[in-house]
Amino acid sequence: MPKLRLDKWLWHARFVKTRGLAASLVVGGHVRVNSAKAAKPAHMVGPGDVLTFPQGDNIRVVRILAIGLRRGPAPEAQMLYADLSEVKDDVPRAPRYEGKGRPTKRERRKLDLDRAQELE
């Protein structure tokens, strides 16, 4: 079964912009392969492995479906994995989104209060 370096796969699948960033993510102890921390960027991964790593404010969980031969366009990169992460939609929606303009200061305060209550 073909295998590929972990940092190279993260770069091919377009989760990071450069291989250097992928390597620093792995060395920092932020990537888990099959629920075990990956210690080195040269850790070999292949189809069937499950990766867990942070991306922005979210924790991504992906199952590797294939290894990439190159860093191609985004549609090609999305075929390399299956996303197992829960979908979070925590972007506050503006009450006047339907073309009615920006919310007023009072409406923004109410949105912030509602969001703070949801997080509790």
**Averaged pLDDT for residues 12-29:** 96
Q: How far apart are CA 23 and CA 26, in angstroms?
A: 5
SS3 content of the chain, % helix, strand, coil (to 5): 30, 20, 50
Q: How far apart are CA 15 and CA 4, in angstroms?
A: 15
Residue 17 has pLDDT above 80, yes or no: yes
- Model pLDDT for residues 89-113, shown as the tens digit of each residue: 666 665 555 556 777 899 889 989 9
Cβ atoms of 6 and 44 within 8 Å: the answer is yes
- State the pTM of this model: 0.73
Q: How far apart are CA 45 and CA 38, in angstroms?
A: 10
Q: How far apart are CA 86 and CA 58, in angstroms?
A: 9
Q: Which residue has the higher pLDDT, 62 or 107?
A: 62
Phi and psi dihedrals of 4, rounded to 5?
-145, 150
Residue 32 has pLDDT above 60, yes or no: yes
Which segment, 37-46, 82-91, 100-109, is predicted with the most confidence on average?
Answer: 37-46
End-to-end CA distance of the chain: 47
Residue-averaged pLDDT of the chain: 89
Residues spanned by CATH 3.10.290.10 within the chain? 4-83
- Domain 4-83 superfamily per CATH: RNA-binding S4 domain (3.10.290.10)
Q: Which of 20-34, 85-99, 105-119 has the lowest mean pLDDT?
A: 85-99
Torsion, Cα 5 11 17 23, to 10 degrees, reads -10
